[in-house]
A and B are shown apart, each in its own frame.
Chain A
Amino acid sequence: MIGIIARHEGASLLRSMQVWIIMALLAGLFGFQFLKQLEVFLSVQARLALQDHPVGLTGFMSVRYLEPLALAFTLAAPLFAMRSFSDEFRHQTYALWQSSPVSAVSLTLGKFLGVYTVLLLSVILAIGMLGIMQLMTPIDWPLLLSAGLGLSLCTAACTACGIYFSSLTRHSLIAIVASLALLFISWMLGSAGGDTLPLQGLTDLSIATHLHGFFQGYVQTRNIAFFALMTALFLGLTIIRLDSLRQKGQP
């Protein structure tokens, strides 16, 4: 059942012109950022080679090209996820799911996987641009895969956040603004950090803090757990929200 819902959700996204426009803008951004940073790398390559531990192309591009793209995915995920439930409420198609033998868990996971799969296409495109450099120069694949894992986990958490806010309202715009505000605050917490304990605690809630290591090739369990928990939390809240709609009626 989850697969059927995921296919429907993914196909529904790919039928939307808005989604293709966002994907085209993302692809344009990837291309621009990739070429710009590649040019910077070529200009500083000779100086980098003189260092004790010289940074290679993959290490340079991972931090300068891929890490900033995480912010782009943080912005794009709620835009992709906004349709999940808000549109269903607004067009009154949610009655189809409510009267069908589909559990809130299946519906939530199906919609999440559908949206996430489409977003993963963009993640693969971003990683693939760097991977294709293998044709010209050796690529540090473990580092590239680590960066890809970081982008994928961050995108999953942001998608789950977008889906949750989409389940709260019939107005897509409110869902987008609310989820972007929360994700933006989560990014900003990283720069609010300090040495004192309360501020250190805030830093631990930051997306940026947990994401940085992936782009340097450090795959740490605590960072994976952070994004997995964030994803599970928002999906769990969505399931509770959908169950409550049977008590309260649609928003």
Chain B
Amino acid sequence: MALHTPDSAQAGNATPADIGAPLLDAHSLSLRHASDAGVADISLSLQRGDIVGLLGLNGAGKSTTLRLLCGALVPDAGSVQVNGYSMSDNPLQARAQIGYLPDQPPLYDDMRVNEYLTLTGRIRGLDRANTARRLSCIIDQCALGDVRRKIIGTLSKGFRQRIGLAQALIHEPAVVLLDEPANGLDPQQMEGMRQLISDIGRNQTIIFSTHLLAEVKATCNRVAIIHSGRLVADRPCSGDDLETVFQEATS
């Protein structure tokens, strides 16, 4: 994939490498006409190291927001910039900066784990050598060593979730978007997922949606609450009063 100068750099503004420039900048995102739940006027600005828990009731618009942020949906209004690339002007470069795990991992059941992860690395723009290097790293990181040659369709839900996470991380994206990553994991696997999110959150920005307040408390340094398609709270995650904040925001 050809290297492109980020839009902000072209415009003479600060580059994403500069301290303080947001890795993900979403401004007034709205979507009304999609089959998904609508969202209105969602704005988020995330720095490197932010781990954001996206909370909300069922149908609040969490998944739609994540799909707008990763470029899978085009908003009716508003803009998204990822690591300096505009999603509307440079969609391919912007999407290359993102790793996305949907609520149902996009897995091909007839492929082997290593074949699938190689494919996902290649379509995210990694060359052969880098894909091979990242494949062994990500397999270690997501504890997939024992199943790397197995057919995906034969694996348990926990493994499938980890493979989904691995495909989102294989190209070392600047921004990682995870839709309900703890779905189907047992308590031990959830602990492993928390640890993994904390590790990758040191150098990358992560947003993950969840219903579980405990997940957010344990992992996130920031919480955003969506209710009826609107962002009703965006604040540091202090932990103790999260239940109260959530109740107030969604009541």
A window 70-111: CB within 8 A of B: 91-103
Contact B119 A4 (CB under 8 A): yes
A window 1-23: CB within 8 A of B: 1, 4-5, 8, 12, 15-16
What 1/0 flags go to B98-126 for Cβ under 8 Å of A? Answer: 10101010111111000000011011110
B247: Cβ under 8 A from any A Cβ: no
Collect the chain B residues with CB atoms within 8 Å of residue A99's CB. Answer: 70-72, 95, 98, 100, 102
Collect the chain A residues with CB atoms within 8 Å of residue B125's CB. Answer: 101
Chain B contact-residue range equals: 20 to 34
Contact B108 A12 (CB under 8 A): yes
CA distance A101 to B96 in the complex (A): 5
Interface residues of chain B: helix, strand, loop or mixed (majority): loop
What 1/0 flags go to B72-100 for Cβ under 8 Å of A? Answer: 11100000000000000001110110101
> Taking each of B74, B111, B123, which has the highest tally of chain A beta carbons within 10 Å of its own beta carbon?
B123
Instruction: Point out the residue from B34, B67, B124 that lies within 8 Å of A248, measured CB to CB.
Output: B34
Collect the chain A residues with CB atoms within 8 Å of residue B71's CB. Answer: 98-99, 246
What is the total of A-B residue contacts with beta carbons within 8 Å?
74
Collect the chain A residues with CB atoms within 8 Å of residue B70's CB. Answer: 98-99
A window 197-251: CB within 8 A of B: 246-250
Closest Cβ–Cβ distance, residue A108 to chain B (whole Å):
14
Known: A99-B95, A99-B100. A249 touches B106 (CB 8 A): no
Known: A248-B34, A249-B73. A102 touches B106 (CB 8 A): no
Collect the chain B residues with CB atoms within 8 Å of residue A97's CB. Answer: 123
Instruction: Point out the residue from A8, A100, A249 that lies within 8 Å of B35, measured CB to CB.
Output: A249
CA distance A97 to B123 in the complex (A): 8
Collect the chain B residues with CB atoms within 8 Å of residue A1's CB. Answer: 123
Collect the chain B residues with CB atoms within 8 Å of residue A103's CB. Answer: 92
Chain A contact-residue range equals: 20 to 34
CA distance A5 to B67 in the complex (A): 22
* Extra 11 A-B pairs, beta carbons < 8 Å, given A15-B111, A94-B106: A4-B122, A92-B102, A95-B67, A100-B95, A101-B91, A101-B93, A101-B123, A102-B92, A246-B72, A247-B73, A249-B73
Interface residues of A (CB under 8 A from B): 1, 4-5, 8, 12, 15-16, 91-103, 246-250
Interface residues of B (CB under 8 A from A): 1, 33-36, 67, 70-74, 91-93, 95-96, 98, 100, 102, 104, 106-111, 119-120, 122-125, 167
